[in-house]
Amino acid sequence: MNGRLVLSVVAAAVALALPLVLPLFQVTLLVNILIFAVVAVGLVLLTGIVGLTSFGQAAFMGVSAYTTALLTTQAGWNPWLALPAGLALTGLVAWLLGLLTLRMQGHYLPLATIAWGMSLYYVFGNTPALGGFTGLTNIPPLAAFGMNLTSPRAFAYLALLALGLTALGAQFLLSSRTGRAMRALRSGPLVAEAFGVNAFRLRVQVFVLAALMAGLAGWLYAHSQRFVNPTPFSLQAGIEYLFMAVVGGSGYVWGALLGSGLITGLREWLRGVLPELLGAQGNFEVIVFGVLVILTLQFARRGLWPLLERVLPQAPLRLLPERNRLPARQKPVPGTPLLTVEHAVKQFGGLRAVNDVSFELRAGEILGLIGPNGAGKSTLFNLVTGVNPATSGRVTFMGRDITRLTAGQIHRLGLSRTFQHVHLLPELSLLENAMMGGYARGRAGLLASLLHLERREEAALQHEALRQLERVGLEEQAHILAGNLPLGQQRVLEVARALVADPALLLLDEPAAGLRYGEKGELAALLRRLRDEGVTVLLVEHDMDLVMGLVDRLVVMNYGEKLAEGTPSEIRAHPAVREAYLGADVSGEEVA
Amino acid sequence: MDIFDPAIFPVLAADGLTNGAVYALLALALVLVFAVTRVVFIPQGELVVFGTLTLAALQLGRVPGTLWLLLGLLALAAVLEAATQVRRGQAGRGLLTLAGAAGVGGVVWALTTWAAPLGWPLWAQALLTLALVTPLGPLLYRTVYQPLRDATVLVLLIASVALHLALTGLALVFFGPEGSRTPPFAPGTQTLGQVTLSNQSLLVILLSAGLMLGLFFFFGRTMAGKALRATAVNRLGARLVGISPASAGLLTFTLAALIGAVGGMMIGPSVALNYDSGFLIGLKGFIGAIIGGLVSYPLAAAGALLVGLIESFASFSLSAWKEVIVFTLILPVLLWRSLTTRHVPEDEE
Amino acid sequence: MTAQLAGTPLLEVRGLHTRYGRVEALGGVSLEVPAEHIVSVIGANGAGKTTLLNSVMGILTPAAGEVFYAGEPLRGVPPEARVARGITLVPERRELFASMTVADNLQLGAYTRRRGGWRSDLDGVYARFPRLAERRRQLAGTLSGGEQQMLAIGRALMARPRLLLLDEPSLGLAPLIVRDILRIVQGLREEGVTVLLVEQNARASLAISDEGYVLETGRVRLSGPAHELARDEALGASYLGGEGRAQGA
């Protein structure tokens, strides 16, 4: 048994014992900590993993809490039936808000949630049917196994169960295909979309999921307090949930519990101490919270959990038994046209970055795309990969017109790429990074990932990723973190990740940039091996040593136009190319 | 009576314009701060409240708690700055910084505690209020945001919200829970045809317009103003001509705090403000700023004026729902922005 | 212009190492720029030329090594303070204020010179670049590539630099414009400005330089008087790969 598991068992045992041994007052506090932690787990997924945030989680709690309060007191519903109703309403609101804001830059969502949290508070307070600012009372207790959960001790077990399931679901999600895609979103949509993730849809899904967790907490809260009023669902409460995630450690599921415990406990203590100290009544604890969060951001931006995590034993990633292989792609016949660019033009304002460029790439060959800095190579690359489509002209891939397709659609047709600036998930292992490349070969969605119903597919992905790591010579390091690799191997890992997609065409964007001599040699050897295995490659590169010894043909660009095309020896002898690289020979002229 | 009644409409419109003018100033400050420092400055509204409540405290002959906040932040900023200087091997300069801060702090303390009970005329107290509230801007920048200068917009936003909460709590400590109004700078009314306007409203509208013109001049004509614009347009380019991002940040926050303090004293006579009113006021400026996409100054100002008008008409016909209406307004605005903002993929070299 | 102490270069770079995270972009670069010389640093893309200039300017912090300017170490001095000391960088991406006018861009170039005198310098820049004078009211972002490069150089001159760092001024420009710009750089030396010029366009830049350094993968491969370097066979190999590598090393 590993250390991590022992620790989990001990923690679970302590958690189960606490409601029985603590004094009643502290059990009530414990119930609140557990309920609030459920909200904070949602924020961990949203903020720490995906890089978005919301100040409106308390308002989502409110929607669900008021739904259950209304349905159970006015319509006589069973509380267990009111839960799905509350969740449905919460999810609907979140979905609408997400649709409105998530296409824009990241700061619009939090601003929208501030406004929404603010309005909802007034809606609760001003609606007579919801009891106005006094709220609704006499909410029935929850009943389970034939008994009413009126005592905090009994309720604590329900809250423990809810938090346990939420946290487990979050952990499951993070160690899944969808979870990896969520992490990839953090640095922006570019990488995620290059592997077929629909960034917008996934963001909306995670936002709704976080809201549903808040909804679950709201339902629990309503039935543990047995009355609701607007205050616990105000914007300020929403802000405090975010503080819990930030202080606890927004990148870690258990950071949510740590933060909830810290903030809730601190509030309880400060509410006793501060009014006495200041000689007045009021919410003075917010001063301490505000300062605490600012200090956390300044000195421990990832929160407090990582400090703890460092001393905890780590759980190794478990390899699942492979039961079936992922279906392989039908590869094009060598020698047939695979990628055709016809009269491509890209206009930025008055500048033609790519001007009437045409070339063809046939299956099985390695084509190099070179040119001096600013020649338009990157723009051409973006237009082939769907990052930034052409102004005019036509791009055909695998017999389909891809000129207007998105990066994800083109990827699914069989184009897989690496990045000029390495884009890996440094906090994940090499294996998990490589698995990201197979995103488009799996189909398990958020729900299946949350429940780990996708283990068969996950196993197939794991083994495919292992095979590709072996292919590039990184199998020994499969379980170390990608962030610990030197750059040369990070680039090789990107190649492995691209190969996991089983591509018909591999696009390499300056794979040698920033590498040392030795590393370049290793990269060249790998690319040569891949060439011999029949992989089709389009290589954009500056390093002539690498390019000349590797490619079958070269396309040279200068000033956005195609300058020359031919074999390496033809290109080397080409006078226009020499001039483009070395500059016009002005030494004979009088320049002064 | 409906709002289009000729006896009601102009009054509501004037009210809306008066508050809208203040929101417009706040919206300008928010756009400016965001453009130069990437900080979504949620606590802008707290500076308004500090403006009103500081003046109200002086009116009552009390020493405003703002003084203690100012002195505390000054001490903290001086220590941070001195520590940086010592680390750079300029120990002498570090000592000078500490001594200078102590001197300035001493003077401000002596002046405020001496002047507070004297019952100075309103304009002099207003100047003292400006002197107490405006420095909060650069001091907050130095202590809260400058250490986070390499952080993402999201982290800066969370820091802003944290600062907002801390300032709200401090306002409660300093000024208590009761709301306060400040006296109008221009009592009396003007009658223009059928419409009666208070002189204070006219003053607010004129002063806002004047401040906006002043800002327009500052950004269009002066080197310092152009330097701020340059920093907003291209941070690296600005450094390459010698503009330090820190000094641009300090100047921006000074302007933001100045606008907040002035706004607080302008809005004080028409609305009773208490320690936690700032957030609502700041948010209304925000809606204006968001209408301007956090980049366009004229759109932000126009949007904020619109918010003021909507709020005024809503408060007449649906007073309990006025906040809901104002904040729900953000949804169609966001929808509009979402549909008009072109999705720009991030730059890959 | 104060005369430099005999034998002390205006800029001296000693054993500079600069990294991006784990990537070492400069692996111990040393070079000297004597006062009132033009020194070229040439090399293929990715050789570390831009990193070198950014390290000299202080935009990047070197992991090891030291930069001396007029005999004084620059460690810990932020870029904006280096401008005030007389070092100005014309960056590869020009970094103009796109939504401001040409005149405003130039005026901001004199930001560190609060004591005035910038108006006469403005006339000087307009005299040097008549195209900019014609377009003084136009927004910088609407200029053509060549005009933007002129504006970037003009803005840098407004700071009255002693040491001008030029990062690929020929980038993306047509050969005729490149020649104009290099001619202007050559003229600056006559006015007492010291220039460190980074170029991919090796022949053109060596033609106007006094000394040259060839950078390859973050290290100096070759160095010497510019006219000797220009004739070196190894230079071509360093760019186009293949033969001649052995002589270059």
Asked if the C-beta of C68 comes within 8 angstroms of chain B's C-beta atoms, the answer is: no
Dist. CA A542–CA A176, nearest whole Å = 37
Q: Neighbouring chains of B at 3+ CB pairs within 8 Å? A: A, C
- Rounded to whole angstroms, what are the CA distances from A324 to A362, A372, A454, A499? 32, 47, 13, 19
Residue A583, pLDDT score: 61
Pairing label, strands A147-148, A366-370 = unpaired
Average pLDDT, chain C: 86
Dist. CA C62–CA C53, nearest whole Å = 11
| DSSP at A399 | T
Minimal CA separation from C233 to chain B, in Å: 32
Bigger pLDDT: A47 vs B335: A47
- 3-class state of residue A513 by DSSP: coil
Q: Render pLDDT for A122-165 as a digit per residue (tens, 0 to 9).
A: 889 988 989 888 899 999 999 888 888 888 999 999 999 999 99
- Residue B329: exposure state from Cβ atoms within 10 A (0-12, 13-18, ≥19): buried
Asked if the C-beta of B245 comes within 8 angstroms of chain A's C-beta atoms, the answer is: no
Q: Render pLDDT for C42-86 as a digit per residue (tens, 0 to 9).
A: 887 778 888 999 999 999 999 999 999 999 999 889 999 999 999
Dig out the tokens for B239 from the structure. Answer: 């450094």
CA count, 13 A, side-chain hemisphere, A472? 27
- Rounded to whole angstroms, what are the CA distances from A510 to A234, A385, C196, C212? 51, 15, 27, 27
- Rounded to whole angstroms, what are the CA distances from A436 to A45, A379, A445, A470, A501? 18, 25, 14, 16, 9
CA count, 13 A, side-chain hemisphere, A308? 14
Bigger pLDDT: C241 vs C147: C147
Q: Render pLDDT for C76-119 as a digit per residue (tens, 0 to 9).
A: 899 999 999 999 999 988 999 998 999 999 999 999 987 677 88
Dist. CA B231–CA B36, nearest whole Å = 6
Asked if the C-beta of B235 comes within 8 angstroms of chain C's C-beta atoms, the answer is: no
Residue A216, pLDDT score: 97
Q: Render pLDDT for C166-177 as a digit per residue (tens, 0 to 9).
A: 998 887 777 777
Nearest to A177 by CA among A405, A360, A445, A367: A445
Dist. CA A215–CA A166, nearest whole Å = 12
Q: Render pLDDT for A524-552 as a digit per residue (tens, 0 to 9).
A: 888 888 888 888 999 998 777 788 888 99
Asked if the C-beta of B228 comes within 8 angstroms of chain C's C-beta atoms, the answer is: no
- 3-class state of residue A362 by DSSP: strand
Q: What is the mean pLDDT of residues A379-399?
A: 92
* Dihedral Cα A11, A17, A23, A29, nearest 10 deg: 50
Residue B347, pLDDT score: 34
Residues facing C101 on adjacent strands: C139
Closest residue in B to C104 (Cα–Cα): B226
pTM of the entire predicted model: 0.89
Residues of chain C neighbouring B238 (CB-CB closer than 8 A) = 97, 108
Sheet holding A553-558, edge to edge: A415-417, A505-509, A537-540, A366-370, A553-558, A561-566
Dig out the tokens for C155 from the structure. Answer: 């803005």
Dig out the tokens for A188 from the structure. Answer: 């922006």
Q: What is the mean pLDDT of residues A293-313?
A: 90
Dig out the tokens for A274 from the structure. Answer: 């501060």
User: Are B159 and A297 inside 8 Å of each other by CB?
Assistant: yes
Residue B313, pLDDT score: 86
CB pairs under 8 A between B and C: 67
Asked if the C-beta of A101 comes within 8 angstroms of chain B's C-beta atoms, the answer is: yes
Residues facing B189 on adjacent strands: B198
User: Are C91 and B236 inside 8 Å of each other by CB?
Assistant: yes
Asked if the C-beta of A532 comes within 8 angstroms of chain C's C-beta atoms, the answer is: no
Residue B296, pLDDT score: 78
Residues facing B195 on adjacent strands: B192
Residue C142, pLDDT score: 85
Q: Render pLDDT for A15-40 as a digit per residue (tens, 0 to 9).
A: 999 999 999 999 999 999 999 999 99
Provide the b/e sequence for B160-174 (b: ≥16 CB within 10 Å).
bbbbbbbbbbbbbbb
Residue C19, pLDDT score: 85
Dig out the tokens for A27 from the structure. Answer: 């059990």
DSSP codes, chain C: -PPPPTT--SEEEEEEEEEETTEEEEEEEEEEE-TT-EEEEE--TTSSHHHHHHHHHTSS--SEEEEEETTEE-TT--HHHHHHHTEEEE-TT----TTSBHHHHHHHHTTT-TTS-HHHHHHHHHHH-HHHHHTTTSBGGGS-HHHHHHHHHHHHHTT--SEEEEE-TTTT--HHHHHHHHHHHHHHHHTT-EEEEEES-HHHHHHH-SEEEEEETTEEEEEEEHHHHHH-HHHHHHHH-STTHHHH-
User: Are B239 and C88 inside 8 Å of each other by CB?
Assistant: no
Q: Please name the helix (run of DSSP H) or strand (run of DSSP E) that holds residue A576, with its range, or none.
A: helix A575-582
Provide CATH 3.40.50.300 ranges for chain A.
Answer: 337-582
Residue C94 CB: number of other CB atoms within 10 A?
Answer: 22
Nearest to A493 by CA among A406, A570, A410, A434: A434
CA angle (A138, A139, A143) in 5-degree steps: 125
Asked if the C-beta of C98 comes within 8 angstroms of chain B's C-beta atoms, the answer is: yes
SS (H, E, C) A192-247: HHHCCCCHHHHHHHHHHHHHHHHHHHHHHHHHHHCCECCHHHCHHHHHHHHHHHHH
Residue C248, pLDDT score: 32
Residue with tokens 């560190």: C112
| Residue A585 pLDDT class (50, 70, 90 cuts) | very low
Which of A118, A290, A297 lies at the smallest CB-CB distance from B155? A297
CB B261 within 8 A of CB B130: yes
The percent of residues in chain A predicted with pLDDT above 70, rounded, is 97
Start-to-end CA span in chain B (Å): 62
CB A535 within 8 A of CB A471: no
Residue C239, pLDDT score: 61
DSSP codes, A51-70: S---S-HHHHHHHHHHHHHH
Dig out the tokens for B198 from the structure. Answer: 């208070």
User: Are B158 and A51 inside 8 Å of each other by CB?
Assistant: no
Pairing label, strands C72-73, C64-69 = antiparallel
pLDDT in tens, chain B (349 residues): 566 777 788 888 888 889 999 999 999 999 999 989 999 999 999 999 999 999 999 999 999 999 999 999 999 999 999 998 898 788 899 999 999 999 999 999 999 999 999 989 999 999 999 999 999 999 999 999 999 988 988 899 999 999 999 999 999 999 999 889 899 988 888 887 777 788 888 899 999 999 999 999 999 999 999 999 999 999 999 999 999 999 999 999 999 999 999 999 999 888 889 998 998 898 888 888 888 777 778 888 888 999 999 888 888 877 778 778 877 777 788 777 777 765 443 333 2
Residue B70, pLDDT score: 97
Residues facing C17 on adjacent strands: C27, C64
Q: Where are the alpha helices (DSSP H) in B176-277?
A: 199-221, 223-233, 235-240, 245-267
| Residue C243 pLDDT class (50, 70, 90 cuts) | very low
Dist. CA C180–CA C191, nearest whole Å = 17
Superfamily of structural domain C1-86+161-240 = P-loop containing nucleotide triphosphate hydrolases (3.40.50.300)
- Rounded to whole angstroms, what are the CA distances from B255 to B28, B44, B208? 10, 11, 14
Residues of chain C neighbouring A549 (CB-CB closer than 8 A) = 241
Asked if the C-beta of B237 comes within 8 angstroms of chain C's C-beta atoms, the answer is: yes
- 3-class state of residue B272 by DSSP: coil
| Residue C240 pLDDT class (50, 70, 90 cuts) | low
- Could you please state the CATH topology (level 3) that the domain comprising A337-582 is classified under: Rossmann fold (3.40.50)
Amino acid of residue B134: T
Residue C237, pLDDT score: 63
User: Are B233 and C100 inside 8 Å of each other by CB?
Assistant: yes
Interface test with B, best of A53, A286, A381, A422 (most B CBs within 10 A): A286
Dig out the tokens for B128 from the structure. Answer: 């003292």
- 3-class state of residue A338 by DSSP: strand
Q: Render pLDDT for B190-234 as a digit per residue (tens, 0 to 9).
A: 887 777 788 888 899 999 999 999 999 999 999 999 999 999 999
User: Are B162 and A291 inside 8 Å of each other by CB?
Assistant: yes
Q: Evaluate the CA torsion angle B83, B88, B89, B94 in order and state its sign.
A: negative
CB B140 within 8 A of CB B162: no
Asked if the C-beta of B72 comes within 8 angstroms of chain A's C-beta atoms, the answer is: no
Asked if the C-beta of A373 comes within 8 angstroms of chain C's C-beta atoms, the answer is: yes
| Residue C229 pLDDT class (50, 70, 90 cuts) | confident
CB B318 within 8 A of CB B332: no
- Residue B242: exposure state from Cβ atoms within 10 A (0-12, 13-18, ≥19): buried
Q: Please name the helix (run of DSSP H) or strand (run of DSSP E) that holds residue A566, with its range, or none.
A: strand A561-566
Average pLDDT, chain A: 90
Domain ranges of chain C: 1-86+161-240, 95-160
CB A198 within 8 A of CB A102: no
| Residue A213 pLDDT class (50, 70, 90 cuts) | very high
pLDDT at C227 over 50: yes
Residue with tokens 């270059």: C248
Whole-angstrom Cα Rg for chain B: 21
